[in-house]
Structures are given as C-alpha cells and as structure tokens.
Amino acid sequence: MDKHYDLHSHSLASDGTLSPTALVQRAAAAGVDVLALTDHDDTSGIAEAQQAAAAAAIALVPGVEVSVTWGRQTVHIVGLQIDPTSSLLQQGLARLREFRNWRAEEMGRRLAKHGIHGAYEAAREKAHGRIISRTHFAHFLAEQGHAASVRDVFKSFLKPNKPGHVPGEWATLEEALGWIHGAGGEAVIAHPARYSMTASKRRKLLGEFVELGGEGLEVVSGSHSRGDNFSMAQLAKLFSLKASAGSDFHGPENPWVELGRLQPLPDGCVPIWSDWSAATGSLARAAV
C-alpha cells in the first residue's frame, strides 16, 4: 500500500502550537507514515520528534523551512533529509535567528509608534525562548482586539506597507541551497502558488532555483487550492523538479489545515520521495 506523506509541519520550536511529541502523535493518529518537521529557521525540535516517531512507529524526516529574500519578496525554501548537526547549516540559521530577534524588537517599536504597546514583550513571551515569528505578534494583536482574526491582523498590520511590517533581510536563495545541500538535504520551494508574483516572475524564481541545484517544488500544499496543485504540477514538469506534498500544519487552532489531509500528487509528478528508502523514509545515499 502507498505510504502517506506529509513533508511540511511546524512545532513549538517555531510558530506551531504543539510540542514535537504531540505533533508526531497527532500525525500518527491521522494516518501519516512519513512526517517532515520543518520549523522556520530552526532545527531544535527534531531530536524530540525523532524519539516520538520511533515510539509511534512512523518515519520522521528531519527538515527546516529557510526564510529567503528574493528580490523584494520573502520566499520559503524547505530543506528535507538534512543533517541537523551540519555546522554550515547551523551557522546560517543562527544568522537568520539573529535577524529575527532584531526584527521582532523593530516590529515592537513600529507598533508602539502606531499606539500598540507591549507587542514585542507579548510576542516574546508567546515564543517561550524559541524563535519569534509574526504569528506570535498576530496572536497578541488578535487577542487585544486590534482585528477580528489572526488573518485580519496580518492584512492590517503585518504585511508589507502595514504599520508593523519590517522588510526581511533573510538568506539569499544561493545561501539557502548551499546550507541545505551542505547538510546533505534536498531543497524544495515551499507553497509556490502562495507568493503574490506574476507567472513570469514565478518562472524566473524556478529557473534560478534549478540553476542552483534545487530539487523539488511543493506541488501539493495545505495552503493551495486544488487548481493551484494542478498548475504547480505543470510547472514542476516544465522545470523537471520533483514534487513534494506538505500540509504546513501549525496547530489544531486552524481547522482548515490538518496533518496528512492532502490531495494526491497530480498524475505525471515524480515524488521527491521516489528515491527514499521505503522502510525508514530516509534518503537512500549512493554507496561510495
């Protein structure tokens, strides 16, 4: 029987709301056989997730979602099958987390100028010493009644040209791929249909990604429509990219996205896991 893959998820180590253990247990209960933990710019949840996966008899793919600045846009590159002990990768991620900390303080200052005080402190508290993301700010602002929902907070405060927005200074595409490949992993463009860019811009991104040795496109995503999945499958074929599938689950608070609840890969896609070991979910490395 075909295995059930979910190759994009978040834990408390970034902006998810479940511990790595609870996340893995929920995935196992949902029928996922192979789960990737892909926290933003951080791999500190992987060890715990691996232990929980062994106990739940599912495979855990060590992953990360690297924040990238491409032109004026933020793009996310998922690294799968990474070795989290890679010092090149960890040095790179540490730099991104340093920027994150500065950005969080700057967001706090900008929101304060806008009359919203204490946002940095509240977001920091919510992050429990882990990375601070816009999601942590969004939950605070929503709780304080500044907008009707987390989504509305993003729209009114946290997106480009809004009072709490600070432009990203993340990794370059080349750096992100270098870190992922240096850690023995495979690089995948996350939720490619979600970026607001023209079709030609998207092709330019894919072209550069392929040029740099990128392997995959997240054809099926919890944040894609069914139509998006099909158009991204076409793009994957056009650029000879392997297809990945991931829910981008952040926690049970968002009922629209559930672990393992994904459309099948459209016909003609080459799954990124096609050369992984079926037994362990790990990347079968060529013997040298």
d(CA 58, CA 271): 19
Interface mask (CB under 6 A) for ligand AMP, residues 148-187, using x and -? --xx--x---------------------------------
Measuring CA to CA, which residue among 203, 214, 213, 192 is closest to residue 76?
Answer: 192
Interface of this chain with ligand AMP, residues 113 to 152, rule: CB under 6 A:
133-135, 150-151
Which residue, judged by CB position, is nearest to ligand AMP in the bound state? 133
Interface mask (CB under 5 A) for Mn ion, residues 222-261, using x and -? --------------------------x-------------
Q: What is the amino acid identity at position 242?
A: K
Tell me whether residue 76 or residue 130 sits nearer to Mn ion (CB atom).
Answer: 76
Q: How many CB atoms lie within 10 A of CB 249?
A: 27
d(CA 50, CA 77): 22
CB of 102 to ligand AMP, least distance (A): 12
Measuring CA to CA, which residue among 67, 57, 8, 13 is closest to residue 33?
Answer: 57
Tell me whether residue 99 or residue 237 sits nearer to Mn ion (CB atom).
Answer: 99
Interface mask (CB under 5 A) for Mn ion, residues 46-65, using x and -? -------------------x
CB of 113 to Mn ion, least distance (A): 26
Interface of this chain with Mn ion, residues 2 to 21, rule: CB under 5 A:
15
Residues 19 and 11 sit within 8 Å (Cβ to Cβ) = yes
Interface of this chain with ligand AMP, residues 236 to 255, rule: CB under 6 A:
250
Tell me whether residue 40 or residue 110 sits nearer to ligand AMP (CB atom).
Answer: 40
DSSP string, 116-157: --SHHHHHHHHHTTS---HHHHHHHHHHTTSSSSHHHHIIII
